[in-house]
Every structure is written in structure tokens, then in C-alpha cells.
Structure 1
Amino acid sequence: MITVIGESLVDIINDPHRAGSTQAGPTQSGPTQAHPGGSPLNVAVGVARLGLATNLVTHYADDRYGLMIEEHLESNGITVIRGGSAPTSTATATLNPGGAATYAFDISWDINGASLPALAAVGGSIHVHTGSIAAVLAPGDHATLTLVKAARAHATVSYDPNCRPGLSPDSAAARTQAEVFVAASDVVKASDEDLAWLYPDRTPEESMAAWLELGPALVALTRGADGPVVVTRRGRVEMAAEPVSVADTVGAGDSFMAGLIGGLARLDAVGAAARSRLADLDPGELHALAAYANRAAAITCSRPGANPPTSAELGSLTGSLTASEG
């Protein structure tokens, strides 16, 4: 069992210059389109599609956007632990004639009322993932950290800061909070944009090395078309992004994160008892893991929206391992 802790929201894209109906919906083609989103939700969907039993500790309301999210989660076989009482969160992007977007957020993060079932979920899980808004937005950030710390006795932990300067513009505060979660994690993934915002005075390689010193066994960096870098104390892997015809990049980083979790599960490197296994991944295994996650991101980029691959589409980690050794 994998448990993901974090926000569910609806991304609303408003393009007043596009002809068609104004009715919002996950598949409508009019000027306003709405799609379930949120980095943790996307990771949960990605992990579930790789065949792993998945919980999502989250919040959404019984409103029309919440029902859209619920249908999406149910269709992917995800067990939901839901708290909070606010309306379903939304992020609205309005496009100008040139395609540039201005954003408006209506976000809340509070899982009050779900403490006991959430604790039971992490207690029954071999791996726990969190990040993004859930790790920085009060009051739910405190509950998130409490759950992560409780999980460490029996589960490995992963974290993706997935920084949102529009919601938490204080980079110094975000940096402090990120380092708290990095220190509580075994696997950390960030984008080059995340690290540039959090640490403008040092290189991404310096930031990755500093995070390793805080305690994680593995740190991954995504760099868009330049591909990922994955480092441990034993090795380093860098590879180009897979060539693909890009529809958009929505959810690509979340699919990479899901690929890391799924790949580590296939390497028997999740769970507290496997921490030494995780720390001792050999160069071939590290390369196979990076290639697996890289391929997940590429497939997601090849189609519109946050639509991560299934295990059948992604193929086997064993194949990546064989190729890396050949």
C-alpha cells in the first residue's frame, strides 16, 4: 500500500477567445475547461496506474468540482481519506490572445476530521509521499508533517516541493519548510525551477548535494527537455529527456515522481526495512530507475493534460535494467 498526502483541486482554463460552449467539464472543448489536478493527486493516479494499491489523504467538498475529482479518483481505483470543510480548491488560468496566462487561486488545505483514518492509512503503508501545497499551506501543513513523521517507523517517505510562488511567495520561509520535509524523507524530487527559486545563489548540483546531507538516500532533479539527474551517496545518473512529440507538459513532473515510486517498489527498495537497500542501489539499478521515471514523464508529455501511463504502457523496469547493463 502506498499513501499520498496532499491537495486535490480543479484546474480551470479560461480562454475567452476560443469558440464553443462555456460549460465546464473534464472533456469539454469550449472556452472554459475544468480538469482534476493537484500535484499529490496526480502522483496518486500515476502510482495507482502502475499497479500499486494507493490511498490519497486529501480534501475536496461535495460540490460539482469535488464530484469531478471523486469520479476521477474512483475510476483509477484510489482509496480516499477526506477531511476539511472548505469548498473544493480551484486554480484558474485565464489566457490572453497570445496564450499567456494570468492565474487566480482559491486554495485551502485542511484535513481536519480525518486525523485518525489518515494515521491508520500511513500506518498500513510501505511508502508515503507528500509535497506541493500540502507541505506549506496552513493549517494542513502541520498535519501533513505529523503524518510523515509517524510513517517513518515503518515506511519510506518521498517529497516533492513543487513550489508555488503565487501561493507562498516568501522564498525564505518556503526554503525552511522544504528542508524540514527533505530531512524527513528518503527520496526527494525537485525541478530545476524549484531549486532556482529556493536557492538562487547556488547551482542545482550544490543544492542536490546539500539535500543529500540532510538525510535522504536519493535526490532527483527534473530539467524539462534536458532530462533528469538522479544522485545518491554511491552514484549519479544523468540522461536526456526521451524524444517525444509534446502535447503539453502538464503533470510530467508528477508522472516522473510516480515512476520513481513505482520503480523503487519493483526494486524492493521501499519500506523502513528496505532503507539500506535504497541506499545501496548499484549504478545499473539507478540508471534503470531514472530511465523508468523519465519514460513515464515522456509519455505524459505526449498527450494533453495530466494523464500518466499505465504499467502496460510504461513497460518493465527489468527491461530498463537490462538495457543499462548491456
Structure 2
Amino acid sequence: MPPEQVTVLGECVADAFTAPDSAPGELALRVLPGGGPANTAVTLARLGTPTRLLARLSEDAFGRLFRARLEASGVDLSAAVPAAEPSTLAVADLDEQGSAGYSFHAEGTADFQWTRAELARVDLTSAACVHSGSLALVRAPGAEAVEEFLRRAAATASVCLDPNVRPLLVAPEVYRERLPRWCRLADVLRLSEDDLALLRPGADPARACDDWHAAGVPLVVLTRGARGVLLSLDGERAELPARPARIVDTVGAGDAFTGGMLHRLARRGLLGGRLTGLRLAEVVEAAEFAGRVAALTCEVRGPNPPWGSSLTEPAGAAPGASGTVRNALGEVSGER
């Protein structure tokens, strides 16, 4: 049986949501543990995939909050690095549709200070897949060490990347310059419609997928809001509709989709190496499952993906859910 463990590398972010009941002259914030890679790791672990998170965890109050959530979800933190730097903070403001706009406080924070020595100590023997993305791929000074680690991982494990472009912190040109290198080392490129618009403005999605395949990545997964998901496996394509959900908010939905997809592929023994034997029908099945995981995440507040046991309930019928019934991936800007 091939190894099922997934190693996730990336940031933990304190998501501070503005509270509508703030007193006059004050702004109350409700802080939830988040961050795209951390959300994906939590999803994987809650679904039952052995999951390890490579993170630099601050010793501040937010860092303790991250650790408690990750450990309670079953994420392995044995390779996490205790960090002296502060945690990254994102202040989120939800609109009437449950989508979040963010402002980041990330200068000199723990997440982006990776060194080659810290990552060289990581044993990849049991990893079927290494997933990374978001700001860890592009923020100095640690981005080069992260990319070097991913090149090492690609020798034995499948590599999944989610660029999660954040133009307020890093110019899209930086992502565009590095994307061909990422395609050469990655086996799965998972991105949103917002990412596509920033990376390839005005590009036809199919043409963009073909270009990325030509650069080296076998599987491209593009979530397209209300139009669902586009899957492209070496040019062979399928489209899936977005799954209906009773939306509370869409925070963390894209990360939950990624976690659900990788969980399903790992459970089927399909991860490891360059995915040369992968069939489109297997990708479709994994994406259908991932859509269900994302839908359930939208039906609760914050980046709170479901446990495997809750998947016996059909999405759209969660007890106590409120809000408007919409497509679970229909709010692309609030996926993470």
C-alpha cells in the first residue's frame, strides 16, 4: 500500500473578523485561526489522512491559538519550528454575501523566515504528497528555502501547489515570474478564478491550462466560482458544477476543497511521484468529494472544515445552517 501521509508547508494566519456589534467609537474583532496551508492541513487531518504541518509557530497568543486548533484536529506538529517572531495577522471584513476582504500585517512575522537548515532536517520518507502555497512561496527571506525544499520533495512525493495570489502583499509579477519553475516541479496546480485573472489577465482558462501543462505540471484544478471546477489532466478536461450550499460564509472553502481532493487521492493510493498513471475519472471523483467538503465548510462560520464522520449528512442540510442557498464555490474572493 503506498504511503498516505501528506506534508503541508506554509503559514498560519490569525484571521480577525470585524464584529458588527462593536460599541460606538470602538472596533471589536473576533479572531479565528486560519491561513491557507494550515486550513488545508486541518481539512486533511479531520478527514482522516495522516497529515504533518511544517510551520514556524510563534510563541505569542496567536501562535498558541494555532497550535491548539491544529493539535485538536489531529495534525502532526512534530516538525513545526518554535519561532521568536510574531504571528501573521489578517483583518477580514465580510460583505453581505459572506465573502471576505483582507488587510495583512505580515512584516517580519514568523511564517516567512524559513531557513535551509530548518527544512533540511525534514524527513520525507513517508510523504506521499507535499502541499504548499500562498505567501510562503513568495515572501522573503524564506521563499527560496521553501522552493528548494519542494524541489527535493518532488524526487519522491507528489507536489501540489496553490499560489493563492495576494496582490496587496506581493506583486502579481513575482508570481508570474516564478510560475514556470513551479510548474516544472509540481504535479498538481490548484488555483482559483481570481488567481487566474491575476496571473493570466484575460486568458482563456483552457489555453492557460495547456500552457501550464507544457511547462511541466500534469494536473491543473481551477475553481471558477458559480461555474464550478475545471479539471485538466495533461489536456484531457472535465467540468463539474458548483455544489449547492446554505452559505454562512466562504472563508476557507478553497482550502477545504484542496484538502478534500488530496485526501481522496491519497486514500485511493494515487499520490506519489509524477502521477503518470492517474486517470481523469479518478480526478473527477476526487473533485466531486472535495466539492462536498467545501460546501460543508461554507455552512459554518470561519475556516472550519468538516470531520470525516459528518460527511454522512448531505451538503445543504447542515443542522442550524442559515443564509442564502448558493453555490459553494460561488464566492471566489472569499475562498481562503
Say yes or no: TM over 0.5.
yes
Q: Indicate the RMSD between aligned Cα atoms, in angstroms.
A: 2.8
Tell me what 1:4 maps to.
8
TM-score between the two structures when normalised by the length of structure 1: 0.85
TM-score between the two structures when normalised by the length of structure 2: 0.82
Q: Specify the code of the residue in structure 2 equivalent to 1:18.
A: D
Cα 1:236/1:116, change in 2 over 3 Å: same
* Offset, 1:92: 1.5
* Offset, 1:114: 7.9
Query: Residue deviations 1:104-145, cap 9 Å, x none?
Result: 322133344683466424343121000000111011111111
* Offset, 1:49: 1.1
Tell me what 1:71 maps to.
68
Tell me what 1:14 maps to.
18
Q: Which has the higher contact order (CA 8 A, sep 6+)?
A: 2
Cα 1:100/1:147, change in 2 over 3 Å: closer
Tell me what 2:122 maps to.
120
* Offset, 1:78: 1.2
260-269 vs 32-41, greater mean Cα deviation: 260-269
Match of 1:56 among 53, 56, 62: 53
Tell me what 1:27 maps to.
none
Distance in 2, matches of 1:122 and 1:58, equals 15
| SS of equivalent residue, structure 2 residue 57 | coil
Distance in 2, matches of 1:245 and 1:188, equals 28
- Whether 2:281 is the aligned partner of 1:277: answer no
CA contact (8 A) 2:164 2:192 kept: yes
Distance in 2, matches of 1:270 and 1:84, equals 31
* Offset, 1:212: 1.4
Query: Residue deviations 1:262-299, cap 9 Å, x none?
Result: 11112211112x63223xx1x43232122111111111
Map 1:123-142 to 2 at 5 A. 123-142=125-144
Tell me what 2:103 maps to.
104
* Offset, 1:11: 0.6
Tell me what 2:300 maps to.
303
Distance in 2, matches of 1:152 and 1:99, equals 37
Tell me what 2:92 maps to.
93
Cα 1:64/1:199, change in 2 over 3 Å: same
* Count of residues paired in the alignment: 304
Tell me what 1:263 maps to.
264
Stretches of structure 2 lacking an aligned partner (at least 5 in a row): 313-336
Distance in 2, matches of 1:124 and 1:211, equals 28
Distance in 2, matches of 1:115 and 1:78, equals 23
Tell me what 1:245 maps to.
246
247-256 vs 223-232, greater mean Cα deviation: 223-232
Distance in 1, matches of 2:114 and 2:132, equals 17
Tell me what 1:149 maps to.
151
Distance in 2, matches of 1:120 and 1:266, equals 23
From the two aligned structures, give the one with the greater helix fraction. Answer: 1
Cα 1:97/1:284, change in 2 over 3 Å: closer
CA contact (8 A) 2:98 2:248 kept: no
Q: Specify the code of the residue in structure 1 equivalent to 2:124.
A: V
Distance in 1, matches of 2:283 and 2:112, equals 36
Distance in 1, matches of 2:229 and 2:14, equals 28
Distance in 2, matches of 1:62 and 1:207, equals 42
| SS of equivalent residue, structure 1 residue 42 | helix
| SS of equivalent residue, structure 1 residue 2 | strand
* Offset, 1:301: 1.1
Stretches of structure 1 lacking an aligned partner (at least 5 in a row): 24-29, 316-326
Cα 1:115/1:49, change in 2 over 3 Å: farther
Paired-residue identity, %:
34
